[in-house]
Amino acid sequence: MKEGCHERGAGPPREEQSMKSKASMGACLGPAIFLFFLSSANIVLAQSSGDQSSSQTAQPAAIPEAKSAAAADASKPTQTKNFTLEGAQVWVDTGISLEPGQRFAVTSEGSLRYTDAKADNGPDGLTRGFKDLIRILPYNGAGRGAVIGRIGDADIAQPFVIGVKKEIVAPVSGKLALGINQSDVDTGTGSYTVKVEVYAVDASAPREVAKEVSNIPGVDNRLFEKIPRRIGDKAGNAGDMVNFLILGDEDQMKNVFTTAGWVKVDASVQETVLAGFIASMSKESYLTMPMSQLYLFGRPQDYGWAHAEPITVVASRNHLRVWKAPFTVNGQMLWVGAATHDIGFEKDQRNNGLTHKIDPDIDLEKDYVQKTLSSTGLVAEVTHFSPKQPMLEARTATGGTFHSNGQVLVMKLSDAAKTSASSNNK
């Protein structure tokens, strides 16, 4: 694979490019991938036609639920609202503003009917089947037609399943939206009645909000003297710009990306095909098709993460690579990353082959990384650092151009990320 060449789906849109890839999912599939998809589909149908399948790939970490009625705040709700979710809709803005740590309870009733379904379904949705692999659902971990929710900006907020009943603690501030887990071109008939009860902020379990700070101790020009400005290919050709740093241990780093809806990218094609696409019915198994290995600190990336829609994976994806630095910052583990956004194809100047074209305004992808990770409530501090002689414009190893304001995003992860990661590993 060439630099930036990943076989995966169109990235969930940044604000400037919201939702435009979903309408053309079939058009982005290359012939080889499409044939692979069809052949894999036949294998799955032959092996488990009609079976309910559970995803074997990582799902975004769940929005934290209230632990129990006894542990939850016993006071009466500060506000109660009722809503009707019509089958022809996907999302409804409730107008309810939530704060970090605020508990709310949602109950749903009613039914929908899809033209290809054998029976009506309730708020928990339909049992997931083979076609869910190719449907564009807001939340892949739940059945079609399930009641779902999200908090905050529609372009970056990660949906969560509600179903018939759920109590949730808001991880971040933002407007609450309720929805039906369906595509806007494949809606059902019927409706759900949903009641939302909002309680006071739970002071005993606050969630940190990413705080913009002027500087983070240890992040200075002396640090950047030890960090290469660019990553490269195996031959040493300079490539993408190093444009973000993360301070936190390995579990914290993995937890914040997973919670933000990023998917860990597989390391090899064989692992992806055999363990991912065929063995799993999850969209993420298609999304995790591998990205090429690039180098920093003399070795390939330690992790690759992608944020994308599954079907348009070939042409477009939000993606990044991270390396563990061989040194620490004030005793804290440092992760060095390069994030870019694939937007199409272009000629590889090294060998006249075909490679992915990145959005030349790479600061947009840097901002996208900040917004998605900060939306988790697991980032404590954020700053932007301008190293000496900042990189403003350059070419990738494949010949593509990019430009930047030269600033590097720096995010310090919160203790909540460590606590959450520990509980997720149990």
CATH number at residue 166: 2.60.120.430
Domain co-membership, 237 together with 356: yes
Q: Span 105-134, mean pLDDT?
A: 90
Q: Is the pLDDT reported for residue 51 higher than 80?
A: no
Query: H or E element: which one contains 108?
Result: strand 102-113
Which residue would you say has higher pLDDT here, 313 or 413?
413
Determine how many CB atoms are found less than 10 A away from the CB of residue 221.
11
Give pTM, 2 decimals: 0.66
274 assigned to some structural domain: yes
> What pairing do the DSSP bridges indicate for beta strands 160-161 and 147-151?
antiparallel
pLDDT band at 296 (very low <50, low <70, confident <90, very high): very high
For residue 261, the model assigns a pLDDT of 81
Q: Span 62-90, mean pLDDT?
A: 74
> What pairing do the DSSP bridges indicate for beta strands 244-247 and 408-413?
parallel
Domain co-membership, 146 together with 197: yes
Residue-wise pLDDT for 333-382, tens only, equals 999 999 987 655 555 555 566 555 567 788 988 998 998 898 888 999 99
For residue 404, the model assigns a pLDDT of 93
Domain co-membership, 330 together with 355: yes
Q: Is 62 left (phi over 0), alpha (psi -120 to 50) or beta?
A: beta
Domain co-membership, 90 together with 37: no
Residue-wise pLDDT for 150-167, tens only, equals 999 887 788 899 999 999
Domain co-membership, 289 together with 192: no
Contact assessment for residue 260 and residue 370, using Cβ atoms and an 8 Å cutoff:
no
Domain co-membership, 71 together with 93: yes
Please report, as a single letter, which amino acid is at residue 161. Answer: V
Domain co-membership, 366 together with 235: yes
Which pair of structure tokens corresponds to residue 9? 């789906």
Q: Is the pLDDT reported for residue 181 higher than 60?
A: yes
Domain co-membership, 110 together with 188: yes
Domain-terminating residue out of 151, 177, 201: 201
Residue 170 domain boundaries: 65-201
58 assigned to some structural domain: no
Domain co-membership, 190 together with 223: no
60 assigned to some structural domain: no
Domain co-membership, 250 together with 149: no
9 assigned to some structural domain: no
For residue 273, the model assigns a pLDDT of 41
142 assigned to some structural domain: yes
244 assigned to some structural domain: yes
371 assigned to some structural domain: yes
94 assigned to some structural domain: yes
Domain co-membership, 244 together with 174: no
Structurally, how many domains does the chain consist of?
2
